[in-house]
Structure 1
């Protein structure tokens, strides 16, 4: 088979993005299995050998949809959260890529309803994958204009979900919520298949880690729960002065009211105690190998999100054999069994998170046992060997359904 993927960026080193991580993992697996793979990203198509071909704009002019073109399209549709002109441009690029190297099937995200535009306009069979339905995002404070854009985007997303010939999601919770919210007909083809993850050769060891070190990997913003993590740490350090926290990820700002957000520096200055401020280290975006080293050195990795569709941060931590604590977002219970492979904590509750952290630090042997169980669980459920073949079977089932 020749499988195409639409990706927000390429190559993977360009962005810390769950969709890019998924596409990269699937590409490696499919190429190893003898399939052909093409990646459509940033106005180009990249074939399995790494050759790059520029694709046309929606108007037919040759050249990539570069940052300037995307900025112009977004400005023109700045009040439309679904950005339909970009959807048409993506469809034109898929069509052009299909002419260069005909694809059997295309796997792409539901964002902005663009998968529906591609399905209608490109002529390529599409599998719509629910990487992050917008209606499931954490309810951050929004201005009136932002609410208008939000409603536009959800409406476009509704049609993408309802009309999709083939719909997949990384968790059952996401799939069921999207089908219920957008009233997808029961007769439509849909299934839940996890995102795959590689298992690193080097894993966390209790004897090698710093038992006073806590790690959180994720954006500094409201959705990722960075405020919950910081406030929990502030409570913990009052009782355990030697603990330290490292935050990894871009600073998107903590939204506190419509149109107002605090940077990491300003948030810490106004919400943490002097001791808490001294114990936190924020190092911004880091490459994957640096994050892997930090996971092995920290005693516990925390995922504090208020909403997730599928957390690569959490699964990568399980794959590395790290002790983990995650908030109980819808679908988290599909990632691991609480008490056996990690701990669950309520969303937005810094007191509960501080108590869970303290319990784990008081029980290092139990933490190590959970870490071992988590790595085995990850191998059985989320490894490429466990997931890759299921995706290929679904692609074949989609093509068979289309022929019928």
Structure 2
């Protein structure tokens, strides 16, 4: 057969899909088929480095590869995909397909633009699609459906999935029938014979330094392991600097070798020399080719019990499956492996036997059979012109088979351990009460004022000034991030902090504060940054202390706002002086942080004393976050940036007066804007509702109506628009930052577990042997 294989990913940058395509192409060529691979290609050069932020590996494309344009690197879901997005690549692919005139076209990852998605509609030969991805996220899959993915896939003559997880994704979101044919492995590529003996437990990790791959979890567990057992960790796929960001402890770093990207014989040598391969991914794995390669090298695996991995590893036979994001359990399994090398060796023997299931000759034979059926199986003629049109446009399968719709399916991932039903009920009740409180407060205000009047004021507002206020709010958040960067650099001078990481954490914190009550965004942003700045349990308390530093600067800003109010208005002669009582809350927090380590003593040797000592140590780390005020270089930078952020927010509040036409009132001046900003920030010290809904509007009405004589309807409209601007800014800046992190809130919660201390107790081997 003349077979054309289409891949949407750059051939220049190695990846799982193209490794699969390359091995399959070699097998099919060896079986006598004439073959072409059409894929993007990025030649070495400055433009490639610019588009990918890294140079393309040197090398020439194989003879069967037809380069179809360059690619861009896109980061999403915690990974980087190098995808061709240039129309010229699609044009060349179509031209080459017409010239080659294949008997069948085999498209990999049909969902990915632009080459693969376009090739699904090729009319010159039957098209077969292979699906590699496992995805449970509703939004991207539903968006793909709206853009026509189901109709594209109905134009495929057959569908292959590399795993049950990939088949689940197709059936759940796009419908259709899938034949599961796993990724293959070259069982003869690994060196033969046993690996050299070593007193150290040789652990291997293969993957990029991504949260989703679980490298921080492994490093946390490894740090606990080496306290009791000699061990060495080799990280393939990440550079030393990337690993150091997660593990700055020099003692642990000395036992970690980061060798960067390697492949071919060198990777096989590493797999063969390792005692165990660790794959602690959090989620999103479709198959795990590296697991089968470890099996082929005779190396057992310790992997997360997630979809994609659980169908490769047989727990207790050729490896161990454990819950994702559980560094304590991972450390315990590594300890058991270090102490029982005989069982580890037996697992290695069984792993080689398991690898035979995935041998490339067997896999290629099954793929070949599907391709042949697509060419030879008869297709019934359309019953009518309408049927022919429906087939060509993808509304029904192109081969006339019955339409199989998408359907809800139970998750393949193991169910996480949930909190008790009582705790869940209490949590839901608390959120429900908070939401009802916000709605009730807004309803009371609207009823007294008149909804129609408030809506009229909102509709008449000047959109251009609203956009100006939004831009000022956005700029203020960037300045707040700059201030926090200076504070954090001063508190953690030896940690690898990056400005963009601090900015992302700031935006995620703002997004969380805008959607949840009780200012949960503050600890959330500290946690996000702690994941990228070293050992989480060491850096998180310090970063929490840096938030206290920002709180101190915020107190200075509130004092400044109060000064502006006193000098330019008569507000504090009215009945709003009670706001000053609430403004004491941040000051009390600052005093508590300064005095707590002195008040908490760790004297004695009992359990309470040990707890007190641990608490005092954590509080001292929190207090170390205030060191910026003794830093003559970064202290002024932090103060200026934070106070400038408040100034921009003040201008944003005044811009909204102009948007509603209130600036024509002589009483409305910069002091009125300062009063509003003061009120909404003081009442938001500990908000009871998400985004302080209800309380926010009442505070605005109280200040503007009581102190400045603004009509209640206009004051309510002002409060609604001001809060809408804040929420829109939080979403516009927070969502891209969250996407950059490549983590869902659920993953973020799981990763927080690695901040908990991991401790291993030394085992008594003689007692174990006696037992």
TM-score normalized with structure 1 length: 0.76
Report the alpha carbon displacement of residue 195 of structure 1 after superposing the two structures with TM: 1.1
- For 1:287 and 1:83, the matched residues in 2 are separated by 18
Contact in 2 for aligned 1:324/1:342 (Cα 8 Å): yes
- For 1:356 and 1:29, the matched residues in 2 are separated by 38
TM-score normalized with structure 2 length: 0.42
1:22-43 residue CA offsets vs partner (Å, 9 max, x unmatched): 1111111111111111111226
Structure with greater proportional helix content: 2
Partner of 1:95: 94
Secondary structure, counterpart of 2:178 in structure 1: strand
- For 1:376 and 1:121, the matched residues in 2 are separated by 41
Structure 1 residues 361 and 395, CA gap change in structure 2 (3 angstroms): same
Report the alpha carbon displacement of residue 166 of structure 1 after superposing the two structures with TM: 2.0
- For 2:301 and 2:83, the matched residues in 1 are separated by 40
Partner of 1:266: 245
Structure 1 residues 121 and 276, CA gap change in structure 2 (3 angstroms): same
Alignment of 1:326-345 (within 5 A): 326-345=303-322
Structure 1 residues 132 and 154, CA gap change in structure 2 (3 angstroms): farther
Contact in 1 for aligned 2:39/2:66 (Cα 8 Å): no
Kindly name which structure, 1 or 2, has the bigger radius of gyration based on alpha carbons: 2
- For 1:118 and 1:85, the matched residues in 2 are separated by 13
Contact in 2 for aligned 1:208/1:297 (Cα 8 Å): no
Does residue 128 (structure 1) correspond to residue 132 (structure 2)? The answer is no
Report the alpha carbon displacement of residue 250 of structure 1 after superposing the two structures with TM: 3.8
Which deviates the most, 203-212 or 149-158?
149-158
Secondary structure, counterpart of 1:365 in structure 2: helix
Contact in 2 for aligned 1:338/1:344 (Cα 8 Å): yes
Contact in 2 for aligned 1:329/1:347 (Cα 8 Å): yes
Structure 1 residues 362 and 153, CA gap change in structure 2 (3 angstroms): farther
Partner of 1:205: 194
Report the alpha carbon displacement of residue 287 of structure 1 after superposing the two structures with TM: 2.7
Secondary structure, counterpart of 1:238 in structure 2: coil
Partner of 1:367: 344
Partner of 1:248: 236
Structure 1 residues 378 and 249, CA gap change in structure 2 (3 angstroms): same
1:344-388 residue CA offsets vs partner (Å, 9 max, x unmatched): 121111111111111112111111111111111111x10022211
Runs of at least 4 residues off by over 6 Å: 82-85
Partner of 2:294: 317
Contact in 1 for aligned 2:145/2:174 (Cα 8 Å): no
Contact in 2 for aligned 1:318/1:371 (Cα 8 Å): yes
Report the alpha carbon displacement of residue 9 of structure 1 after superposing the two structures with TM: 3.4
1:192-236 residue CA offsets vs partner (Å, 9 max, x unmatched): 001111012524625545642211011110121111111111121
Report the alpha carbon displacement of residue 339 of structure 1 after superposing the two structures with TM: 0.6
Structure with greater proportional strand content: 1
1:297 to 273, 279, 289: 273
Contact in 2 for aligned 1:204/1:295 (Cα 8 Å): no
2:18 to 15, 20, 38: 20
- For 2:353 and 2:299, the matched residues in 1 are separated by 12
Structure 1 residues 37 and 136, CA gap change in structure 2 (3 angstroms): farther
Does residue 232 (structure 1) correspond to residue 232 (structure 2)? The answer is no
Partner of 2:63: 50
2:163 to 152, 171, 195: 171
- For 2:144 and 2:157, the matched residues in 1 are separated by 20
Report the alpha carbon displacement of residue 162 of structure 1 after superposing the two structures with TM: 5.9
Partner of 1:60: none
1:137-194 residue CA offsets vs partner (Å, 9 max, x unmatched): 8x9xxxxxxx8x88756755853556544221111132023311x140xxx4421001
- For 1:93 and 1:309, the matched residues in 2 are separated by 31
Partner of 2:209: 220
Structure 1 residues 345 and 87, CA gap change in structure 2 (3 angstroms): farther
Root-mean-square deviation (Å): 3.4
Partner of 1:59: none
- For 2:300 and 2:244, the matched residues in 1 are separated by 28
Partner of 2:682: none
Report the alpha carbon displacement of residue 113 of structure 1 after superposing the two structures with TM: 5.1
Which deviates the most, 291-300 or 337-346?
291-300
- For 2:336 and 2:204, the matched residues in 1 are separated by 16
Contact in 2 for aligned 1:301/1:324 (Cα 8 Å): yes
Contact in 2 for aligned 1:247/1:281 (Cα 8 Å): yes
Partner of 1:142: none
- For 1:87 and 1:176, the matched residues in 2 are separated by 31
- For 2:92 and 2:378, the matched residues in 1 are separated by 22
Contact in 2 for aligned 1:203/1:321 (Cα 8 Å): no
Alignment of 1:389-400 (within 5 A): 389-400=365-376
Report the alpha carbon displacement of residue 136 of structure 1 after superposing the two structures with TM: 4.5
Partner of 1:276: 252
Contact in 1 for aligned 2:70/2:84 (Cα 8 Å): no
Secondary structure, counterpart of 1:215 in structure 2: strand
Report the alpha carbon displacement of residue 49 of structure 1 after superposing the two structures with TM: 8.4
- For 2:325 and 2:218, the matched residues in 1 are separated by 9
Structure 1 residues 369 and 9, CA gap change in structure 2 (3 angstroms): same
Does residue 383 (structure 1) correspond to residue 359 (structure 2)? The answer is yes
Partner of 1:78: none
1:30 to 28, 31, 38: 28
Structure 1 residues 168 and 274, CA gap change in structure 2 (3 angstroms): same
- For 1:83 and 1:371, the matched residues in 2 are separated by 35
